A and B are shown apart, each in its own frame.
Chain A
Amino acid sequence: NAGVTQTPKFQVLKTGQSMTLQCAQDMNHEYMSWYRQDPGMGLRLIHYSVGAGITDQGEVPNGYNVSRSTTEDFPLRLLSAAPSQTSVYFCASSIGQGVQPQHFGDGTRLSIL
């Protein structure tokens, strides 16, 4: 019963490098989203998807790219990493577009030097 799986758990990058944070869910959920958590700021929505082939921007989308080719996977790409993107990233999924409790992965801790 995996739920939402995020890889890697930790990553250190140099400024300017690119990388993809992976997120997979096995609950057949339509809705998936990416958040970043920074001290005192709570979780802020980066991008979300309401189904395969459909993505949209959240509150803080700049510097990030997403795609949703399957129901299960929702990768987050950092195109050119910047120190301001040092954060903990959480992927979440829920069963539908209405307000449903979201199931979160355990996060990826990303440091950019």
Chain B
Amino acid sequence: DQQVKQNSPSLSVQEGRISILNCDYTNSMFDYFLWYKKYPAEGPTFLISISSIKDKNEDGRFTVFLNKSAKHLSLHIVPSQPGDSAVYFCAARARGAGNMLTFGGGTRLMVKP
């Protein structure tokens, strides 16, 4: 059973609007979460992360929110740009697991001009 789930395989948003990508997890031992962005024929690139001691982390247009009680995190992109069109992966690390990450299945974001 997948411990990290991204239930929306795809999302389409108009340029300039907000994109919200969601991620749910089941393992209570997860204490660090990351978002990666992936373009076709390239490897994933790190976007933003959040520790379980926080509920929000912001970096420019990107904000990640963590709701530990719901075991849910979300990535907000405001404003969305066509260059944001990519697959976004949520990943989590369990306490004591070093740098071993568990990834979600990904969400394909399409930002329309």
Contact = CB atoms under 8 A, between A and B. Distances in A.
Interface of A: 4, 31, 33, 35, 40-45, 48, 50, 58-59, 90, 92, 94, 96-107
Interface in B29-48: 32, 34, 36, 41-46
A56 B72 CA distance: 30
B106 A102 contact: no
B43 A97 contact: no
A50 B104 CA distance: 23
Contacts of B44: 43, 90, 104
B103 A100 contact: no
Contacts of A94: 99
Interface of B: 2, 4, 6, 9, 32, 34, 36, 41-46, 49, 89, 91, 93, 98-106
B103 A44 contact: yes
Given A43-B103, A44-B103, A45-B100, A90 B43 contact: yes
Contact of A50 (B4, B32, B98, B103): B98
Nearest to A58: B100
A20 to B, nearest CB: 19
A31 B43 contact: no
Contacts of A40: 9, 105-106
